[in-house]
Structure 1
Amino acid sequence: MVRTISTLIGAAFVFVLALALFGTVKTTITEPTPESVEHVFHQEPADIHLASAGLFGKFDDRQVQRGFQVFKEVCSACHSLKYVHFRDLTKIGYSTAEVKAIADQWAIEQPSINPDTGEPATRKNVPSDPFPSPFANEIAARAANNNALPPDFSLITKAREDGPNYIHALITGYQNPPAALKREFPSFSTPPGLHYNPYFANLNIAMPPPLTADGQVTYVDGTKATKDQMARDVAAFLTWTAEPNLNARHAAGIAAILFILIFVFLAWGAYQNVWRDLKH
Protein backbone atom coordinates (compact mmCIF):
# COMPACT_ATOMS: atom_id res chain seq x y z
CA MET A 1 0.00 0.00 0.00
CA VAL A 2 2.75 2.42 0.97
CA ARG A 3 4.67 1.54 -2.17
CA THR A 4 1.62 2.21 -4.34
CA ILE A 5 1.02 5.62 -2.75
CA SER A 6 4.70 6.53 -3.19
CA THR A 7 4.54 5.51 -6.85
CA LEU A 8 1.44 7.61 -7.45
CA ILE A 9 2.99 10.63 -5.74
CA GLY A 10 6.17 10.23 -7.81
CA ALA A 11 4.17 9.89 -11.02
CA ALA A 12 2.16 13.00 -10.18
CA PHE A 13 5.36 14.92 -9.48
CA VAL A 14 6.87 13.86 -12.82
CA PHE A 15 3.62 14.79 -14.60
CA VAL A 16 3.65 18.30 -13.08
CA LEU A 17 7.31 18.78 -14.08
CA ALA A 18 6.51 17.63 -17.61
CA LEU A 19 3.63 20.10 -17.84
CA ALA A 20 5.84 22.92 -16.59
CA LEU A 21 8.57 22.03 -19.10
CA PHE A 22 6.04 21.82 -21.93
CA GLY A 23 4.60 25.22 -20.98
CA THR A 24 8.04 26.81 -20.88
CA VAL A 25 9.06 25.38 -24.26
CA LYS A 26 5.73 26.39 -25.82
CA THR A 27 6.02 29.95 -24.50
CA THR A 28 9.60 30.21 -25.74
CA ILE A 29 8.55 29.13 -29.22
CA THR A 30 5.30 31.09 -29.52
CA GLU A 31 6.30 34.17 -27.55
CA PRO A 32 10.09 34.64 -27.88
CA THR A 33 11.73 37.28 -25.73
CA PRO A 34 12.21 40.48 -27.75
CA GLU A 35 15.81 41.10 -28.71
CA SER A 36 17.47 43.94 -26.84
CA VAL A 37 19.18 46.85 -28.54
CA GLU A 38 22.51 45.61 -27.19
CA HIS A 39 21.95 42.17 -28.72
CA VAL A 40 21.03 43.56 -32.14
CA PHE A 41 23.63 46.31 -32.55
CA HIS A 42 26.55 45.00 -30.49
CA GLN A 43 29.47 44.06 -32.75
CA GLU A 44 32.19 41.47 -32.29
CA PRO A 45 35.81 42.61 -32.71
CA ALA A 46 37.86 41.49 -35.69
CA ASP A 47 41.10 39.57 -35.25
CA ILE A 48 44.09 41.91 -35.47
CA HIS A 49 46.60 39.02 -35.69
CA LEU A 50 49.14 40.16 -33.11
CA ALA A 51 52.54 38.48 -33.21
CA SER A 52 51.88 37.11 -29.70
CA ALA A 53 48.70 35.29 -30.73
CA GLY A 54 48.56 31.53 -31.16
CA LEU A 55 50.47 28.59 -29.69
CA PHE A 56 53.80 29.76 -31.11
CA GLY A 57 53.22 33.50 -30.64
CA LYS A 58 56.02 35.78 -29.53
CA PHE A 59 55.95 39.45 -28.61
CA ASP A 60 57.22 41.93 -31.17
CA ASP A 61 59.30 44.12 -28.84
CA ARG A 62 59.28 47.08 -31.24
CA GLN A 63 55.49 47.01 -31.41
CA VAL A 64 55.18 46.61 -27.63
CA GLN A 65 57.50 49.59 -27.16
CA ARG A 66 55.34 51.66 -29.51
CA GLY A 67 52.30 50.55 -27.51
CA PHE A 68 54.00 51.68 -24.33
CA GLN A 69 54.57 55.07 -25.94
CA VAL A 70 50.85 55.31 -26.74
CA PHE A 71 49.97 54.33 -23.19
CA LYS A 72 52.41 56.87 -21.77
CA GLU A 73 51.27 59.78 -23.93
CA VAL A 74 47.54 59.03 -24.13
CA CYS A 75 46.19 56.40 -21.75
CA SER A 76 48.20 57.12 -18.59
CA ALA A 77 46.27 60.35 -18.02
CA CYS A 78 43.33 58.26 -16.78
CA HIS A 79 44.41 54.63 -16.43
CA SER A 80 46.81 52.98 -14.01
CA LEU A 81 49.17 49.99 -14.30
CA LYS A 82 49.42 49.06 -10.64
CA TYR A 83 50.72 45.51 -11.25
CA VAL A 84 53.52 46.60 -13.59
CA HIS A 85 56.85 48.04 -12.41
CA PHE A 86 59.14 50.34 -14.35
CA ARG A 87 61.90 47.71 -14.20
CA ASP A 88 59.65 45.30 -16.12
CA LEU A 89 60.26 47.41 -19.23
CA THR A 90 63.67 45.74 -19.59
CA LYS A 91 61.75 42.64 -20.76
CA ILE A 92 60.64 44.44 -23.92
CA GLY A 93 64.05 45.75 -24.91
CA TYR A 94 64.64 48.90 -22.86
CA SER A 95 68.07 49.21 -21.26
CA THR A 96 68.54 49.78 -17.53
CA ALA A 97 69.57 53.38 -18.19
CA GLU A 98 66.47 53.98 -20.34
CA VAL A 99 64.23 52.53 -17.63
CA LYS A 100 65.79 54.80 -15.02
CA ALA A 101 65.18 57.80 -17.26
CA ILE A 102 61.58 56.78 -17.96
CA ALA A 103 60.87 56.37 -14.24
CA ASP A 104 62.57 59.64 -13.31
CA GLN A 105 60.71 61.63 -15.99
CA TRP A 106 57.26 60.07 -15.43
CA ALA A 107 54.66 62.80 -15.04
CA ILE A 108 53.07 61.35 -11.87
CA GLU A 109 55.34 60.98 -8.88
CA GLN A 110 55.12 58.43 -6.07
CA PRO A 111 53.29 59.41 -2.85
CA SER A 112 55.67 59.80 0.06
CA ILE A 113 56.14 61.41 3.46
CA ASN A 114 58.34 64.42 4.15
CA PRO A 115 60.92 63.04 6.63
CA ASP A 116 61.31 66.44 8.30
CA THR A 117 57.67 67.43 8.78
CA GLY A 118 55.75 64.17 8.43
CA GLU A 119 53.47 65.81 5.88
CA PRO A 120 52.35 64.03 2.70
CA ALA A 121 54.76 64.60 -0.17
CA THR A 122 55.86 63.06 -3.45
CA ARG A 123 59.15 61.75 -4.78
CA LYS A 124 60.60 60.80 -8.14
CA ASN A 125 59.90 57.29 -9.41
CA VAL A 126 62.63 54.65 -9.41
CA PRO A 127 62.74 51.43 -11.47
CA SER A 128 61.50 49.30 -8.56
CA ASP A 129 58.28 51.35 -8.28
CA PRO A 130 54.99 50.31 -9.87
CA PHE A 131 53.50 52.73 -12.36
CA PRO A 132 51.73 55.37 -10.22
CA SER A 133 47.98 55.98 -10.49
CA PRO A 134 47.00 59.28 -12.13
CA PHE A 135 44.46 59.84 -9.33
CA ALA A 136 44.88 59.97 -5.57
CA ASN A 137 41.87 57.73 -4.93
CA GLU A 138 38.64 56.42 -6.43
CA ILE A 139 36.64 59.52 -5.52
CA ALA A 140 39.10 61.75 -7.37
CA ALA A 141 39.05 59.39 -10.37
CA ARG A 142 35.25 59.44 -10.58
CA ALA A 143 35.10 63.21 -10.12
CA ALA A 144 37.38 63.69 -13.11
CA ASN A 145 35.55 61.19 -15.35
CA ASN A 146 31.82 61.93 -15.17
CA ASN A 147 31.45 59.54 -12.19
CA ALA A 148 32.98 56.65 -14.21
CA LEU A 149 35.95 54.79 -12.74
CA PRO A 150 38.73 54.20 -15.30
CA PRO A 151 39.80 50.56 -14.93
CA ASP A 152 43.36 49.57 -14.18
CA PHE A 153 45.02 48.38 -17.39
CA SER A 154 47.48 45.86 -15.95
CA LEU A 155 45.28 42.81 -16.68
CA ILE A 156 42.66 44.36 -18.94
CA THR A 157 43.25 41.96 -21.86
CA LYS A 158 42.67 39.03 -19.49
CA ALA A 159 39.61 40.65 -17.92
CA ARG A 160 37.84 41.24 -21.25
CA GLU A 161 36.73 38.54 -23.65
CA ASP A 162 38.94 38.41 -26.75
CA GLY A 163 41.11 40.98 -24.95
CA PRO A 164 43.59 42.38 -27.55
CA ASN A 165 41.01 42.39 -30.34
CA TYR A 166 38.46 43.99 -28.01
CA ILE A 167 40.88 46.76 -27.01
CA HIS A 168 41.66 47.58 -30.63
CA ALA A 169 37.99 47.50 -31.69
CA LEU A 170 36.86 49.62 -28.74
CA ILE A 171 39.47 52.31 -29.31
CA THR A 172 38.71 52.58 -33.02
CA GLY A 173 34.95 51.92 -32.80
CA TYR A 174 33.54 55.30 -31.77
CA GLN A 175 30.83 56.45 -34.16
CA ASN A 176 27.40 58.03 -34.40
CA PRO A 177 24.43 55.73 -33.71
CA PRO A 178 23.25 54.20 -37.02
CA ALA A 179 19.92 55.32 -38.44
CA ALA A 180 18.56 51.76 -38.21
CA LEU A 181 19.03 51.83 -34.43
CA LYS A 182 16.66 54.78 -34.04
CA ARG A 183 14.11 53.16 -36.32
CA GLU A 184 14.09 49.84 -34.47
CA PHE A 185 14.59 51.19 -30.93
CA PRO A 186 13.15 54.75 -30.74
CA SER A 187 13.68 54.87 -26.97
CA PHE A 188 17.44 54.33 -27.23
CA SER A 189 19.62 57.38 -26.63
CA THR A 190 23.18 58.29 -25.78
CA PRO A 191 23.05 60.47 -22.62
CA PRO A 192 25.21 63.58 -22.34
CA GLY A 193 28.74 62.69 -21.34
CA LEU A 194 28.57 59.22 -22.92
CA HIS A 195 29.68 58.06 -26.36
CA TYR A 196 28.20 55.48 -28.72
CA ASN A 197 30.46 52.50 -29.34
CA PRO A 198 29.04 49.23 -30.74
CA TYR A 199 31.89 47.20 -29.20
CA PHE A 200 31.03 48.25 -25.65
CA ALA A 201 28.63 46.04 -23.68
CA ASN A 202 25.69 48.48 -23.45
CA LEU A 203 26.72 50.57 -26.51
CA ASN A 204 27.25 53.76 -24.46
CA ILE A 205 30.67 54.30 -22.89
CA ALA A 206 31.87 57.08 -20.59
CA MET A 207 35.43 57.14 -21.93
CA PRO A 208 35.78 59.71 -24.73
CA PRO A 209 37.66 58.63 -27.86
CA PRO A 210 41.31 58.40 -26.75
CA LEU A 211 42.72 58.49 -30.30
CA THR A 212 41.27 61.39 -32.22
CA ALA A 213 43.63 61.82 -35.17
CA ASP A 214 46.50 60.24 -37.06
CA GLY A 215 49.87 61.38 -35.80
CA GLN A 216 48.63 61.92 -32.24
CA VAL A 217 51.81 60.15 -31.14
CA THR A 218 55.15 60.58 -32.87
CA TYR A 219 56.80 57.17 -32.81
CA VAL A 220 60.48 57.06 -31.93
CA ASP A 221 61.12 54.34 -34.55
CA GLY A 222 59.50 56.40 -37.32
CA THR A 223 56.45 54.16 -37.84
CA LYS A 224 53.47 56.04 -39.29
CA ALA A 225 51.10 56.63 -36.38
CA THR A 226 47.65 56.09 -37.86
CA LYS A 227 44.76 55.59 -35.44
CA ASP A 228 44.58 51.93 -36.42
CA GLN A 229 48.34 51.48 -35.89
CA MET A 230 48.28 53.16 -32.48
CA ALA A 231 45.32 51.04 -31.39
CA ARG A 232 47.08 47.85 -32.51
CA ASP A 233 50.27 48.84 -30.71
CA VAL A 234 48.62 49.71 -27.41
CA ALA A 235 46.65 46.43 -27.62
CA ALA A 236 49.99 44.62 -28.02
CA PHE A 237 51.44 46.47 -25.03
CA LEU A 238 48.44 45.67 -22.80
CA THR A 239 48.67 42.03 -23.89
CA TRP A 240 52.24 42.09 -22.62
CA THR A 241 51.34 43.73 -19.29
CA ALA A 242 48.77 41.00 -18.68
CA GLU A 243 51.21 38.18 -19.50
CA PRO A 244 54.82 39.41 -19.57
CA ASN A 245 56.21 35.85 -19.43
CA LEU A 246 54.34 34.64 -22.52
CA ASN A 247 57.54 34.17 -24.55
CA ALA A 248 59.10 31.99 -21.85
CA ARG A 249 55.87 30.04 -21.36
CA HIS A 250 55.56 29.28 -25.06
CA ALA A 251 59.25 28.28 -25.26
CA ALA A 252 58.83 25.96 -22.25
CA GLY A 253 55.72 24.45 -23.81
CA ILE A 254 57.50 23.71 -27.09
CA ALA A 255 60.44 22.16 -25.19
CA ALA A 256 58.02 20.01 -23.16
CA ILE A 257 56.24 18.79 -26.31
CA LEU A 258 59.57 17.89 -27.95
CA PHE A 259 60.65 16.04 -24.80
CA ILE A 260 57.38 14.06 -24.72
CA LEU A 261 57.74 13.13 -28.40
CA ILE A 262 61.31 11.94 -27.88
CA PHE A 263 60.27 10.01 -24.75
CA VAL A 264 57.40 8.32 -26.62
CA PHE A 265 59.75 7.34 -29.46
CA LEU A 266 62.32 5.89 -27.02
CA ALA A 267 59.59 4.06 -25.07
CA TRP A 268 58.24 2.60 -28.31
CA GLY A 269 61.75 1.48 -29.28
CA ALA A 270 62.31 -0.11 -25.87
CA TYR A 271 58.97 -1.91 -26.11
CA GLN A 272 59.85 -3.29 -29.53
CA ASN A 273 63.27 -4.46 -28.28
CA VAL A 274 62.01 -6.10 -25.07
CA TRP A 275 59.07 -7.93 -26.63
CA ARG A 276 60.63 -8.68 -30.03
CA ASP A 277 61.50 -12.32 -29.34
CA LEU A 278 58.23 -13.08 -27.51
CA LYS A 279 56.15 -11.90 -30.46
CA HIS A 280 57.56 -14.54 -32.77
Structure 2
Amino acid sequence: MSRRRIGFWYRLAAVVAKPPLVVFFKRDWRGMEHIPADGGFITVVNHNSYLDPLSYAHFQYNTGRVPRFLAKVALFKAGAVGSFMRGAGQIPVYRESADAVGAFRAAVEAINDGECVAFYPEGTLTRDPHMWPMEGKTGAARVALLTKAPVIPVAQWGANLAVPPYARPKEFRFLPRKTLTVQAGPPVDLSEFYGCEPTADVLRAVTDTLMDALTVQLAEIRGEPVPVERYTHRSRAAERRTDGEPDRDTPARAAEAPGRTEETARKAEEGEKA
Protein backbone atom coordinates (compact mmCIF):
# COMPACT_ATOMS: atom_id res chain seq x y z
CA MET A 1 0.00 0.00 0.00
CA SER A 2 1.53 3.33 -1.05
CA ARG A 3 -0.62 5.64 1.09
CA ARG A 4 -3.43 5.48 3.61
CA ARG A 5 -6.99 6.59 2.97
CA ILE A 6 -8.16 9.42 5.17
CA GLY A 7 -11.04 7.36 6.52
CA PHE A 8 -14.20 8.07 8.50
CA TRP A 9 -12.67 9.00 11.85
CA TYR A 10 -10.25 11.56 10.44
CA ARG A 11 -13.01 13.11 8.35
CA LEU A 12 -15.22 13.28 11.42
CA ALA A 13 -12.45 14.98 13.40
CA ALA A 14 -12.00 17.48 10.56
CA VAL A 15 -15.72 18.28 10.55
CA VAL A 16 -15.59 18.97 14.30
CA ALA A 17 -12.22 20.72 14.62
CA LYS A 18 -11.75 22.74 11.43
CA PRO A 19 -14.62 25.25 11.82
CA PRO A 20 -13.39 26.71 15.16
CA LEU A 21 -9.81 26.74 13.87
CA VAL A 22 -10.94 28.70 10.82
CA VAL A 23 -13.00 31.12 12.93
CA PHE A 24 -10.42 31.84 15.64
CA PHE A 25 -7.17 31.68 13.65
CA LYS A 26 -5.54 32.82 10.46
CA ARG A 27 -3.33 30.29 8.67
CA ASP A 28 0.07 30.47 7.04
CA TRP A 29 0.87 27.07 5.56
CA ARG A 30 4.36 26.69 4.06
CA GLY A 31 6.33 23.87 2.48
CA MET A 32 3.46 21.52 1.63
CA GLU A 33 5.46 20.49 -1.43
CA HIS A 34 7.89 18.70 0.91
CA ILE A 35 5.19 16.29 2.14
CA PRO A 36 5.65 13.12 0.03
CA ALA A 37 2.73 12.32 -2.25
CA ASP A 38 3.23 8.57 -1.82
CA GLY A 39 5.12 6.11 0.34
CA GLY A 40 5.83 5.97 4.04
CA PHE A 41 7.55 8.83 5.82
CA ILE A 42 8.18 10.38 9.23
CA THR A 43 7.50 13.89 10.46
CA VAL A 44 9.21 15.45 13.47
CA VAL A 45 7.22 18.32 14.95
CA ASN A 46 7.93 20.87 17.68
CA HIS A 47 5.52 21.23 20.60
CA ASN A 48 4.84 24.55 22.36
CA SER A 49 1.09 24.46 23.05
CA TYR A 50 -1.61 21.92 23.81
CA LEU A 51 -3.34 23.37 20.76
CA ASP A 52 -0.55 22.80 18.25
CA PRO A 53 -1.39 19.14 17.47
CA LEU A 54 -4.59 20.52 15.93
CA SER A 55 -2.76 23.13 13.86
CA TYR A 56 -0.28 20.54 12.61
CA ALA A 57 -3.03 18.01 11.90
CA HIS A 58 -5.01 20.67 10.00
CA PHE A 59 -1.94 21.51 7.91
CA GLN A 60 -1.19 17.93 7.01
CA TYR A 61 -4.82 16.95 6.49
CA ASN A 62 -4.88 19.58 3.75
CA THR A 63 -2.01 17.80 1.99
CA GLY A 64 -4.05 14.59 1.77
CA ARG A 65 -1.50 12.65 3.84
CA VAL A 66 -2.90 12.23 7.34
CA PRO A 67 -0.44 11.42 10.12
CA ARG A 68 -0.60 8.66 12.67
CA PHE A 69 0.43 10.02 16.06
CA LEU A 70 2.24 8.17 18.82
CA ALA A 71 0.37 8.79 22.06
CA LYS A 72 0.39 7.45 25.60
CA VAL A 73 -1.83 4.44 25.99
CA ALA A 74 -4.06 6.14 28.59
CA LEU A 75 -5.57 8.33 25.86
CA PHE A 76 -6.92 5.24 24.12
CA LYS A 77 -9.08 4.50 27.16
CA ALA A 78 -10.54 8.00 27.53
CA GLY A 79 -14.14 8.07 26.28
CA ALA A 80 -14.71 9.92 23.01
CA VAL A 81 -11.01 10.71 22.71
CA GLY A 82 -10.20 7.02 23.02
CA SER A 83 -12.77 6.17 20.36
CA PHE A 84 -11.15 8.59 17.96
CA MET A 85 -7.63 7.41 18.78
CA ARG A 86 -8.57 3.80 18.11
CA GLY A 87 -10.75 4.52 15.10
CA ALA A 88 -8.17 6.76 13.41
CA GLY A 89 -5.43 4.17 13.88
CA GLN A 90 -3.24 6.20 16.21
CA ILE A 91 -0.37 4.33 17.81
CA PRO A 92 -0.32 3.63 21.57
CA VAL A 93 2.99 3.99 23.38
CA TYR A 94 3.44 1.82 26.44
CA ARG A 95 5.87 3.94 28.41
CA GLU A 96 6.62 1.14 30.86
CA SER A 97 8.12 -1.01 28.10
CA ALA A 98 11.84 -1.63 28.48
CA ASP A 99 12.14 -2.54 24.80
CA ALA A 100 12.46 0.83 23.05
CA VAL A 101 12.48 -0.72 19.57
CA GLY A 102 9.49 -2.92 20.40
CA ALA A 103 7.55 0.14 21.62
CA PHE A 104 7.83 1.60 18.09
CA ARG A 105 7.17 -1.62 16.16
CA ALA A 106 3.74 -0.39 15.06
CA ALA A 107 5.32 2.83 13.79
CA VAL A 108 7.81 0.87 11.70
CA GLU A 109 5.04 -1.31 10.29
CA ALA A 110 2.91 1.73 9.44
CA ILE A 111 5.77 3.42 7.59
CA ASN A 112 6.62 0.24 5.71
CA ASP A 113 2.94 0.10 4.70
CA GLY A 114 3.20 3.56 3.16
CA GLU A 115 1.83 5.70 5.97
CA CYS A 116 3.02 8.83 7.76
CA VAL A 117 3.98 8.63 11.43
CA ALA A 118 4.34 11.88 13.37
CA PHE A 119 6.80 12.24 16.23
CA TYR A 120 6.98 14.98 18.82
CA PRO A 121 10.64 14.24 19.60
CA GLU A 122 10.77 16.50 22.66
CA GLY A 123 8.31 14.13 24.34
CA THR A 124 6.44 16.98 26.04
CA LEU A 125 5.77 20.70 25.76
CA THR A 126 9.03 22.56 25.41
CA ARG A 127 10.46 23.88 28.66
CA ASP A 128 12.82 26.19 26.82
CA PRO A 129 12.10 29.68 28.20
CA HIS A 130 12.12 31.14 24.69
CA MET A 131 10.04 28.42 23.06
CA TRP A 132 12.75 26.78 20.98
CA PRO A 133 12.76 22.98 20.59
CA MET A 134 14.47 21.19 23.45
CA GLU A 135 16.84 18.26 23.21
CA GLY A 136 14.94 15.42 21.56
CA LYS A 137 14.34 11.83 22.59
CA THR A 138 15.66 9.09 20.33
CA GLY A 139 12.44 7.35 19.22
CA ALA A 140 12.22 9.09 15.83
CA ALA A 141 15.90 8.35 15.22
CA ARG A 142 15.39 4.64 15.93
CA VAL A 143 12.48 4.41 13.52
CA ALA A 144 14.27 6.46 10.88
CA LEU A 145 17.28 4.13 10.93
CA LEU A 146 15.08 1.03 10.83
CA THR A 147 12.94 2.21 7.90
CA LYS A 148 15.28 4.62 6.03
CA ALA A 149 12.09 6.55 5.28
CA PRO A 150 12.16 10.30 4.52
CA VAL A 151 12.07 12.42 7.67
CA ILE A 152 10.32 15.77 7.24
CA PRO A 153 10.88 18.50 9.86
CA VAL A 154 7.65 20.44 10.54
CA ALA A 155 7.89 23.59 12.65
CA GLN A 156 4.97 25.59 13.94
CA TRP A 157 4.35 28.85 15.74
CA GLY A 158 1.26 30.77 16.83
CA ALA A 159 -0.76 28.30 18.86
CA ASN A 160 1.45 29.14 21.84
CA LEU A 161 0.46 32.81 21.56
CA ALA A 162 -3.20 31.87 22.04
CA VAL A 163 -2.80 28.94 24.45
CA PRO A 164 0.53 29.28 26.27
CA PRO A 165 2.01 26.11 27.74
CA TYR A 166 0.57 25.19 31.13
CA ALA A 167 -1.93 28.07 30.89
CA ARG A 168 -5.29 28.12 32.62
CA PRO A 169 -8.38 28.95 30.52
CA LYS A 170 -8.40 32.52 31.83
CA GLU A 171 -4.96 32.99 30.27
CA PHE A 172 -6.05 31.95 26.78
CA ARG A 173 -5.79 34.81 24.26
CA PHE A 174 -7.80 34.06 21.12
CA LEU A 175 -8.38 37.71 20.23
CA PRO A 176 -7.08 39.40 18.27
CA ARG A 177 -6.86 36.41 15.93
CA LYS A 178 -3.47 34.77 15.89
CA THR A 179 -1.83 33.25 12.83
CA LEU A 180 -1.03 29.55 12.95
CA THR A 181 2.15 29.17 10.92
CA VAL A 182 3.19 25.64 9.98
CA GLN A 183 6.25 25.06 7.81
CA ALA A 184 7.52 21.75 6.44
CA GLY A 185 11.14 21.57 5.34
CA PRO A 186 12.94 19.26 2.94
CA PRO A 187 13.78 15.71 4.04
CA VAL A 188 16.70 15.48 6.47
CA ASP A 189 19.73 13.73 4.98
CA LEU A 190 20.56 10.84 7.30
CA SER A 191 22.45 8.74 4.77
CA GLU A 192 25.71 8.95 6.71
CA PHE A 193 24.07 7.00 9.54
CA TYR A 194 22.56 4.19 7.48
CA GLY A 195 24.27 0.90 8.21
CA CYS A 196 25.62 2.11 11.56
CA GLU A 197 25.03 0.13 14.71
CA PRO A 198 22.28 2.00 16.62
CA THR A 199 24.41 2.74 19.64
CA ALA A 200 23.51 5.47 22.11
CA ASP A 201 26.03 7.80 20.45
CA VAL A 202 24.64 7.16 16.96
CA LEU A 203 21.04 7.63 18.10
CA ARG A 204 21.98 10.86 19.83
CA ALA A 205 23.77 12.12 16.71
CA VAL A 206 20.75 11.29 14.51
CA THR A 207 18.39 12.93 17.00
CA ASP A 208 20.52 16.07 17.15
CA THR A 209 20.55 16.21 13.34
CA LEU A 210 16.74 16.03 13.30
CA MET A 211 16.39 18.68 16.00
CA ASP A 212 18.82 20.95 14.15
CA ALA A 213 16.70 20.72 11.00
CA LEU A 214 13.51 21.35 12.98
CA THR A 215 15.02 24.37 14.73
CA VAL A 216 16.13 25.86 11.39
CA GLN A 217 12.53 25.70 10.15
CA LEU A 218 11.27 27.41 13.31
CA ALA A 219 13.96 30.09 13.04
CA GLU A 220 12.73 30.89 9.53
CA ILE A 221 9.18 31.27 10.81
CA ARG A 222 10.23 33.50 13.68
CA GLY A 223 12.76 35.48 11.67
CA GLU A 224 15.35 34.95 14.38
CA PRO A 225 18.77 33.27 14.48
CA VAL A 226 19.06 29.67 15.60
CA PRO A 227 20.04 29.50 19.30
CA VAL A 228 23.66 28.64 19.96
CA GLU A 229 22.72 26.00 22.54
CA ARG A 230 19.75 23.66 22.79
CA TYR A 231 17.89 23.51 26.06
CA THR A 232 18.07 20.19 27.92
CA HIS A 233 15.16 19.41 30.20
CA ARG A 234 16.17 17.73 33.44
CA SER A 235 14.62 17.41 36.87
CA ARG A 236 15.27 20.20 39.33
CA ALA A 237 17.59 17.98 41.32
CA ALA A 238 19.66 17.24 38.23
CA GLU A 239 19.76 20.92 37.29
CA ARG A 240 21.16 22.12 40.62
CA ARG A 241 24.76 23.16 40.17
CA THR A 242 27.52 22.71 42.73
CA ASP A 243 28.79 26.25 42.10
CA GLY A 244 25.49 27.74 43.25
CA GLU A 245 24.27 28.94 39.83
CA PRO A 246 20.48 29.14 39.47
CA ASP A 247 18.48 26.69 37.37
CA ARG A 248 18.28 27.62 33.69
CA ASP A 249 14.47 27.48 33.54
CA THR A 250 13.61 30.00 36.25
CA PRO A 251 10.17 31.61 36.45
CA ALA A 252 11.68 35.05 35.94
CA ARG A 253 13.38 34.07 32.70
CA ALA A 254 10.41 32.09 31.48
CA ALA A 255 8.09 35.03 32.06
CA GLU A 256 10.11 37.03 29.51
CA ALA A 257 9.53 34.48 26.76
CA PRO A 258 6.90 35.00 24.04
CA GLY A 259 3.66 33.16 24.71
CA ARG A 260 4.40 32.62 28.41
CA THR A 261 3.24 34.52 31.47
CA GLU A 262 4.52 34.63 35.03
CA GLU A 263 1.63 32.37 35.99
CA THR A 264 2.43 29.76 33.33
CA ALA A 265 6.08 29.91 34.30
CA ARG A 266 5.11 29.24 37.91
CA LYS A 267 3.07 26.21 36.85
CA ALA A 268 5.95 24.93 34.77
CA GLU A 269 8.10 25.21 37.88
CA GLU A 270 5.48 23.30 39.88
CA GLY A 271 5.45 20.64 37.17
CA GLU A 272 9.15 20.11 37.74
CA LYS A 273 8.44 19.34 41.40
CA ALA A 274 5.69 16.83 40.60
- Could you state the TM-score of these two structures normalised by the residue count of structure 1? 0.22
- Could you state the TM-score of these two structures normalised by the residue count of structure 2? 0.23
Higher strand share: 2
Higher helix share: 1
